[in-house]
Amino acid sequence: MPFLSDTLSRVKPSPTIAVTNKARELKDAGKDVIGLGAGEPDFDTPENIKAAAIAAINEGKTKYTAVDGIPELKKAICAKFKRDNGLDYTPDQVTVGTGGKQVLYNALMATLNPGDEVLIPAPYWVSYPDMVLLAGGEPTFVEGQLQTKFKITAEQLDAAITPKTKWFIFNSPSNPTGAGYSRAELKALTDVLKKHPHVWIMTDDMYEHLAYDDFEFCTPAQVEPELYDRTLTVNGVSKAYAMTGWRIGYAAGPKDLIKAMGKIQSQSTSNPSSISQWAAVEALNGSQDFIAPNNEIFKRRRDMVCEMLNAVDGITCPVPEGAFYVYPSIAGLIGKTSAKGVKITDDEVFATALLEDTGVAVVFGAAFGLSPNFRISYATSDEALKEACTRIQDFCASLS
Ligand SMILES: Cc1ncc(COP(=O)(O)O)c(C=O)c1O
């Protein structure tokens, strides 16, 4: 009898963590490594949020709380949905978990039966397919194209839905591409979803506030109110408030689904950290003023990275609307050979050779389900980014 479960063999270890480990190994060995793999802002959590957490500790708010969130946080979340998205939710339609990751996982665990399909646009955040597999469902994919900045079209969505599709996962702005759907582009998708009443929508709005130029963020239930009753709107404080380590995510949706998700959480982790919940109350209710200046910094970095990468013969890098990622194509480099004699046959070979020859750590596209590409996270200093892009330019120029 095998000791490990059969379910475990269905999932793969996180490739982003594998890249981080490899980069750390090289760094420990004394190599000059620039890591562009991390999916978190390099800014510190704002002071008012830290102060709220310290106050919570001092006031003894350190005990178990209601499993799926303290009433004060649920109230702040309802206010956020109204303020930012024009969506009306009551506290019993809201759940809070240990990061958006747990909330998404709870939703899949609470709803998937064997054979149920979850439709995921590729490239995708690495965890979606594996969470679906862990929950006993089947991930299915629909591929974005370079020409549309990796966004899927209404026709593609319509063609990919089957009678077994239970959920459609939507993520805009996207990890790994940074691409954001305009209201018109999203409306085209919601029009398709209206025609398929058996499909529920799980929208991951984690990068809502990280949007640049004049991009207007929208979420499915806002664009198409008819979908409200079958949409789970997921969000969190990790990215916009530089709170990745605090582990607070949340979602709003139909009461029965929210209750079912709470049931899963009640038998796994119980409440998210009480202290982090009080910090999140301050994040959502307090000043939002730091978001705009942070976004100016991200936008400047995005522009520099795109410009430097697009200057490389063989790389095409669409300029994304949001998040802190770019997802350049290396189609023009496939088949070339590095100075050390490595033939670039795919994006994994490219990323490995780049890391070993130049010390620049990026994540290869196959990890996100669309090749040949790689992902850069530009949530790091301007100096490090400039140096990394110069090394990428030199490495690509050395290929023959
Ligand atoms: C698209 C997307 N969704 C969800 C998450 C999870 O965020 P957290 O669990 O920190 O709230 C991430 C984190 O990288 C992400 O990129």
Segment 151-157 shows an average pLDDT of 98
* The pTM of the whole model exceeds 0.95: yes
Is the pLDDT assigned to residue 9 strictly greater than 90?
no
pLDDT score at 139 = 98
161 within 8 A of 196, measured Cβ to Cβ: yes
Strand, helix or coil for residue 200? strand
pLDDT score at 257 = 98
Is the pLDDT assigned to residue 400 strictly greater than 90?
yes
Using one digit for the tens of pLDDT, what is the confidence trace for 12-57? 877 777 777 888 889 899 999 999 988 888 899 999 999 999 999 9
* 314 CA to centre of ligand 1 in angstroms: 31
244 within 8 A of 238, measured Cβ to Cβ: yes
Atom of ligand 1 nearest to the CA of 248: 11
Strand, helix or coil for residue 34? strand
In angstroms, the first-to-last Cα distance of the chain is: 52
Using one digit for the tens of pLDDT, what is the confidence trace for 96-131? 999 999 999 999 999 999 999 999 999 999 999 999
Closest CA to 128 of 114, 139, 117: 139
Pocket test for ligand 1, best of 101, 219, 247, 250 (most atoms within 8 A of CB): 101
Using one digit for the tens of pLDDT, what is the confidence trace for 178-193? 999 999 999 999 999 9
**What span, in angstroms and rounded, lies between the C-alpha atoms of 34 and 289?**
31
Nearest CA residue ID for atom 14, ligand 1: 39
**What span, in angstroms and rounded, lies between the C-alpha atoms of 169 and 201?**
6
CA within 13 Å, CB half, 306: 18
The mean pLDDT of the chain is 96
> Omega before 225 cis (within 30°)?
no
Pocket test for ligand 1, best of 102, 128, 238, 250 (most atoms within 8 A of CB): 238
Place of tokens 């290929």: 399
Place of tokens 């994006």: 347
Within the chain, where are the H helices? 6-10, 15-28, 47-58, 71-85, 99-111, 127-134, 154-160, 183-194, 220-223, 255-266, 274-285, 291-310, 347-358, 382-397
Domain boundaries, the chain: 6-44+290-397, 62-285
Segment 356-362 shows an average pLDDT of 95
Is the pLDDT assigned to residue 380 strictly greater than 80?
yes
Atom of ligand 1 nearest to the CA of 102: 9
Task: Name the band, by pLDDT with cuts 50, 70 and 90, for residue 341.
Answer: very high
pLDDT score at 20 = 78
Segment 341-365 shows an average pLDDT of 95
* 132 CA to centre of ligand 1 in angstroms: 15
**What span, in angstroms and rounded, lies between the C-alpha atoms of 260 and 178?**
32
Q: What percent of the chain has pLDDT over 70?
A: 100
Pick among 3.40.640.10, 2.40.110.10, 3.40.50.1010, 3.40.50.2300: CATH of 62-285: 3.40.640.10
Nearest CA residue ID for atom 7, ligand 1: 100
Using one digit for the tens of pLDDT, what is the confidence trace for 195-238? 999 999 999 999 999 999 999 999 999 999 999 999 999 999 99
- Topology, domain 6-44+290-397: Aspartate Aminotransferase, domain 1 (3.90.1150)
Pocket test for ligand 1, best of 206, 217, 237 (most atoms within 8 A of CB): 206
* 260 CA to centre of ligand 1 in angstroms: 21
* 368 CA to centre of ligand 1 in angstroms: 14
Is the pLDDT assigned to residue 310 strictly greater than 80?
yes
Atom of ligand 1 nearest to the CA of 101: 9
Is the pLDDT assigned to residue 11 strictly greater than 90?
no
Is the pLDDT assigned to residue 259 strictly greater than 90?
yes
Pocket test for ligand 1, best of 125, 277, 368, 377 (most atoms within 8 A of CB): 125
pLDDT score at 192 = 98
Nearest CA residue ID for atom 16, ligand 1: 175
Is the pLDDT assigned to residue 79 strictly greater than 80?
yes
Task: Name the band, by pLDDT with cuts 50, 70 and 90, for residue 332.
Answer: very high
Q: Which residues line ligand 1 (CB under 6 A)?
A: 39, 99-101, 125, 171, 175, 204, 206, 236, 238, 244, 249
